[in-house]
Chain A
Amino acid sequence: MKPLITIHYGDGRNSEEREMTDEEFAVWTDSQGCVSHHIEEIIDQ
């Protein structure tokens, strides 16, 4: 199961919570590499 994502809208649509799409999951997974690298750097300070 992919992670959940919460979506709020500024145009009056109701908020929703759903599983990430394949595309969203790929982008999220890719971002975690950047996040992990950042955390290593900030902890090493």
Chain B
Amino acid sequence: MAVKTFSTGEVLTAADTNTYLNNGGLVYVANGTLANTSTNFQSCFSATYNNYRIMINNISLSGAGYIYFRFLSGSTAANAANYYWAINGYTSAGTASDDSGAAQTLTFTGFQGGAGVAGLQTGYIILDVCAPFVAQRTFTTCQAASYTDRFLGRAGMCEQDAQTSYDGIQFLTNSAVTMGGTVTIYGYRLG
């Protein structure tokens, strides 16, 4: 349901504008580019929002690779074996490409790409991170679309089982594969 519906010719007042600004859905928090084999986004989760959407567009990899993530407290990565994931996948060749992990030191976004074709992106990732700043289990739903030697779509969940507050997220690849892409982090406005 819309916050307010305007009629033709109606004046958009400052009060109306503020109503929309105060009740919008996603609010920009931070952005930056993926680079090297590890990229941190620090001080991006706080008590201002409970839940976050992370969009990673225009991904490129220097070779066949995979993109993982883990949470940060300050600059320190949470790397105890507390990560779990369950992700369904399917390829354009009609084959399943499911994946899972338990008690790992990082978690998988579902993204699996090849070096790709020059000038063409390899894919994108969407993460919905539920309450990472709250000292509880942190659940994330993930969606990844990519190209290896065929197109590949995966969607599923990741979980960080430590009941810890995190204020950042780290993306990383397999060794010697560097990554590119644009990351934008939004907060879901509370009310």
Chain A residues in the interface with B (C-beta under 8 A): 3-11, 13, 15, 17, 20, 23-24, 27-28, 30-32, 34-36, 38-39, 42, 45
Interface of B is mostly: strand
B112 touches A15 (CB 8 A): no
Chain B residues in the interface with A (C-beta under 8 A): 29-46, 66, 68, 70, 75-77, 79, 96-99, 101, 104-106, 108, 112, 168, 172, 174-175, 183, 185
A8 touches B97 (CB 8 A): no
Complex CA distance for A15 and B41, rounded to whole angstroms: 9
Across-interface contacts of A39 in B (CB, < 8 A): 66, 174
B38 touches A5 (CB 8 A): yes
Across-interface contacts of B39 in A (CB, < 8 A): 5-8
Across-interface contacts of A34 in B (CB, < 8 A): 104-106
B172 touches A10 (CB 8 A): no
Across-interface contacts of A32 in B (CB, < 8 A): 174-175
A35 touches B75 (CB 8 A): no
Task: Given A34-B104, A35-B106, A36-B174, check contact A6 B43 (CB 8 Å).
Answer: no
Q: Among A10, A13, A17, A24, which residue has its beta carbon within 8 angstroms of that of B185? A: A10
Q: A7-B40, A8-B183, A31-B70 are in contact. List 18 more A-B contacts (CB 8 A).
A: A3-B36, A4-B36, A5-B37, A5-B39, A7-B75, A9-B41, A9-B43, A10-B42, A10-B44, A10-B45, A15-B32, A17-B36, A20-B38, A31-B68, A31-B172, A32-B175, A35-B68, A38-B104
